[in-house]
Amino acid sequence: MSEVKYWVGFNLIPGIGRVRFSRLIEHFGDLKRAWEAEAAELRAAGLDGKSIQMIVETRPKFDLDAEMERIEKLGVRAIPQDDPLFPRRLKEIYDSPPVLYARGSFVPGDEWSLAVVGTRRPTMYGREIAERLTADLVRHDITIVSGLARGIDTIVHRAALSAGGRTVAVLASGVDIIYPPENRRLAEEIMQSGALVSDYPPGTKPRAEHFPRRNRIMSGLALGTLVIEAGENSGALITARMALEQDREVFAVPGSILSPMSTGTNRLIRDGAKAVLGVEDILEELNLSTIPKQLALTDLQPEDETESLILRYLAQGPAHIDDLCRACSLPVSIVSSTLTLMELKGMVSQLGNMNYAAAKGTKVG
């Protein structure tokens, strides 16, 4: 994990994406050596002159230890592609982000997820369909992925939480900056039953060009993308197009040919998307009718003695991090980092003010 700060460092340098990360790792073996390399060595790794100049000029401006401390204080976890927690499906797409920033947790059941998107101005028909389909999907243990935007995104996040399910919100900003601002409370609730994720570093403000870029992550995390109402130029259609480019399934809810909010979805169906009249259409197409429910939240085993110690103490009930440090006779740095990892794995949940509880189904030892 000592390499994480170098992943974060290169991720902060403009123009260093998936391809250049791969070249650096292939040539140097690890990113620490790449971070310390001279221009000639970077050239030998196959980087172009512009990228080399950007690295050489920008690198001295960053204090990576301070950046990692800043991220940790915000309650954010930086997950590089070589981390086992990095979502497997997202790693498969062409333009996969080298680093994913997350607040909340991933659990094994998130492997079975569906991106659900649509217009920011839904009709009553769109609202009702979004709520019904989301509740039905959650009842089949499917994690709902969306973008926290106004309209359909907000509706499906809320519907997933109301049905007791998990949901992941992909942001077009840093995960510490919630947009739109009226969804701040919703974002807090999502972190308790899922995760906020972004490939933009904490502190990044939302910009118009970020929204189409983040759509590739929504579709990349999921088995398929469902569009529920979309106008002719809706951003939801960009997500559907990216899903097709990633060789993922695309679903659409048909609507009236007289409704402007159904123009995009009806065209998707005309062009080959699977028409959805009920949740069974999705489950059948993705072969999800027999998802093993126990994988969603159960059988989570401690991986080392520190996790075992923490879980044995939390088995007695929720506890503050200071109490955990005293009970386990461990420094706060180790307990804090272990709790962060356990939270991302879905083994514990933070109840607020640094109080933690063991998640339902987690094995004590």
pLDDT given at position 289:
66
State residue 295's pLDDT score. Answer: 45
Two structure tokens written together for 68 = 């990692």
pLDDT digits (tens, 9 = 90+) for 111-169: 899 999 999 999 999 999 999 999 999 999 999 999 999 999 999 999 999 999 999 99
Is 4 in contact with 32 (CB distance < 8 Å)? no
Which residues in the chain show pLDDT less than 50?
Answer: 1, 292-298
Do 106 and 346 meet the contact criterion of CB atoms below 8 Å apart?
A: yes
According to the model, what pLDDT value does residue 294 have? 38
Looking at residue 358, what is its pLDDT?
80
Q: Where are the alpha helices (DSSP H) in the chain?
A: 4-12, 18-28, 31-36, 39-44, 49-58, 64-73, 88-92, 124-139, 152-162, 184-192, 210-221, 236-245, 263-270, 279-286, 294-297, 305-314, 321-328, 332-344
Q: How far is CA 91 from its chain centroid?
A: 12
Nearest to 228 by CA among 139, 347, 136: 136
Integer Cα distance of 180 and 119 in angstroms: 15
Alpha-carbon distance 131 to 142, whole Å? 14
Residue 79 DSSP class? E
Neighbour order of strands in the sheet with 355-358: 319-320, 355-358, 348-352
pLDDT given at position 68: 94
**Domains of the chain, CATH where assigned:** 1-73 (no CATH), 108-294 (3.40.50.450), 298-358 (1.10.10.10)
pTM of the model: 0.79
Beginning with the edge strand found earlier in the chain, give each strand of the sheet holding 194-198 in spatial order: 77-80, 99-104, 194-198, 167-170, 143-146, 113-117, 224-227, 249-252, 274-275
Question: What is the distance between the alpha carbons of residues 15 and 9, in angstroms, rounded to a whole number?
Answer: 12
Would you state the pLDDT for residue 287?
Answer: 80
Could you tell me the two tokens for 243?
A: 């899903």
- The DSSP code for 193 is S
Sequence-separated (6 or more) residues with CB below 8 Å from residue 295: 108, 109, 111
d(CA 280, CA 132): 13
Pairing of the two strands 167-170 and 224-227: unpaired
Q: What is the rounded distance in angstroms from the CA atom of residue 249 to the CA atom of residue 267?
A: 16
- Measure the N-to-C terminal CA separation of the chain; round to a whole number of Å: 24
pLDDT at 213 (0 to 100): 93
CB atoms within 10 A of CB 355: 14
